[in-house]
A and B are shown apart, each in its own frame.
Chain A
């Protein structure tokens, strides 16, 4: 192998790639991030900003989210930047008895999994969020839910990892992997060859293409989510909210009669950012890499939004945007080394959990590389579940 350019090459400069590179740098390794466009340009730059443990599957998934939230709490001080971390609590409002019932059942599992949540009737819910519609049935409350600014997190990781001696190359596209004796030893890019002991694939929605270069068929697909942004306003909602309808769509799709919801739906979700704009979402659509926003999608979000929060009718939309979520059919990301492909590590496929799981993913991948194994068992995330047995 020619001279090493870094200890680890991380492909992808989003909230996963920068987190991994930062955690490696903290442990004394030199990382080199290779990013096709600019930092925070893919999913991390076009998403929501909330971290909601109550929407995670109780058990392993929830446990990891809680570990990640602990890390976020310490991160502002550690990185020395304001990341707009804000523990404001979250609600899961329910528009009908069925969703209230499903959310109530899920609440029991969440509590058994160690998460503090409480079911509230509509009056109690509206004592917290008086602008919500009185026609709703009730809501689940989760006091530990929080919000973070993904742009600030990515840029802060970037600043800090550079201070620690690691590097970032933007505008640089990986076109192939480089091999030596059956081991991945670097990447071929449009700006030349780069060598390292390990290559990490943190390219989210584009993870399947890079994995294919390594000979791994990773079933990661882009799933489009459209979101609308309002003008800045005084506080309309104090918490983040994701409707319980999401559970109905997920677990009882046969109960959904509205064609549009079947096609686009994921329920209603909303958050108000520090500067007063409100983000309302979102759709879930398989459209390849088409990043447009559509009138149908926007209308769907607005009609759902107005049902839950009638005051939205008098507010202005200033922008719509869409982003891809890296969807994996079994709902779990691919994190870790791959059997038969030494030197290559996957860290992609977080779908809607990239922001939430960024700190813990960075930490665990860095531990795998530096210490040989992660401090938290993530065998369930192993990409080996997709390795075809010869």
Chain B
């Protein structure tokens, strides 16, 4: 396998690199939420839509867990960013 660039961004929103994710795993993270708490990966504007799969794959590689056994991050509303005025307006309409 080609040498991996450890500075490659895994979570673009929060600028979290592969090296930071590997360090979090070395410190004990074993789930997507665990990586999130330690690095902020998945906490940005897209809420993990781009990085979650990548993070799962890295955890699987580093910990030997089957990808299907890795706990995903908790999904929460809203699915897409939504203006607060829109939600407030709905209620008061």
Tell me whether B87 is interfacial, beta carbon within 8 Å: yes
Chain A residue at minimum C-beta to C-beta distance from B81: A316
B76 touching A151, Cβ below 8 Å = no
A45 touching B37, Cβ below 8 Å = yes
Report the tally of A-B residue pairs with Cβ distances under 8 A.
Answer: 86
Q: Which of chain B's residues have a CB closer than 8 A to the CB of A312?
A: 84-85
Tell me whether A252 is interfacial, beta carbon within 8 Å: no
* Docked pose: A168 CA to B28 CA in angstroms: 9
Q: Which of chain A's residues have a CB closer than 8 A to the CB of B27?
A: 155, 158-159
Tell me whether A1 is interfacial, beta carbon within 8 Å: no
Chain A residue at minimum C-beta to C-beta distance from B78: A317
B76 touching A38, Cβ below 8 Å = no
A313 touching B84, Cβ below 8 Å = yes
* Docked pose: A195 CA to B38 CA in angstroms: 30
Chain B residue at minimum C-beta to C-beta distance from A150: B37
A38 touching B77, Cβ below 8 Å = no
Instruction: Pick the residue among B77, B82, B92 that contacts A316 (CB under 8 A).
Output: B82
A321 touching B31, Cβ below 8 Å = no
Q: Which of chain B's residues have a CB closer than 8 A to the CB of A103?
A: none
* Docked pose: A314 CA to B87 CA in angstroms: 11
Q: Which of chain B's residues have a CB closer than 8 A to the CB of A321?
A: 74, 76
Q: Distance in Å from the Cβ of A177 to the closest Cβ of chain B?
A: 25
Interface residues of B in 54-93 (CB under 8 A from A): 74, 76-78, 81-85, 87-88, 90-92
Query: Given A298-B77, A298-B87: A232 and B45 within 8 A (CB)?
Result: yes
B87 touching A170, Cβ below 8 Å = no
A313 touching B85, Cβ below 8 Å = yes
B37 touching A299, Cβ below 8 Å = no
Q: Which of chain A's residues have a CB closer than 8 A to the CB of B44?
A: 232, 318
Tell me whether A256 is interfacial, beta carbon within 8 Å: no
B81 touching A39, Cβ below 8 Å = no
Tell me whether B33 is interfacial, beta carbon within 8 Å: yes
A302 touching B88, Cβ below 8 Å = yes
Q: Distance in Å from the Cβ of B86 to the closest Cβ of chain A?
A: 9
Q: Distance in Å from the Cβ of A251 to the closest Cβ of chain B?
A: 28
Tell me whether A306 is interfacial, beta carbon within 8 Å: yes
B81 touching A38, Cβ below 8 Å = no
Instruction: Pick the residue among B14, B30, B92 that contacts A38 (CB under 8 A).
Output: B30
Q: Which of chain A's residues have a CB closer than 8 A to the CB of B40?
A: 275
Instruction: Pick the residue among B14, B37, B84 that contacts A315 (CB under 8 A).
Output: B84
Query: Given A155-B27, A159-B27: A316 and B84 within 8 A (CB)?
Result: yes
A313 touching B77, Cβ below 8 Å = no
For A144-168 the 0/1 string (1 means CB < 8 A from B) is 0000000100010011000000001
* Docked pose: A170 CA to B92 CA in angstroms: 46
Q: Which of chain B's residues have a CB closer than 8 A to the CB of A230?
A: 84
Tell me whether A67 is interfacial, beta carbon within 8 Å: no
26 cross-chain CB contacts under 8 A: A38-B31, A38-B37, A39-B28, A40-B37, A41-B33, A41-B37, A45-B33, A151-B37, A155-B38, A158-B27, A158-B28, A170-B28, A171-B30, A231-B81, A293-B76, A302-B84, A303-B91, A312-B85, A313-B84, A313-B85, A317-B84, A317-B87, A318-B78, A318-B81, A319-B76, A320-B77
Residues on A facing B (Cβ under 8 Å): 38-41, 45, 151, 155, 158-159, 168, 170-171, 230-232, 275, 293, 298-299, 302-303, 305-306, 312-321
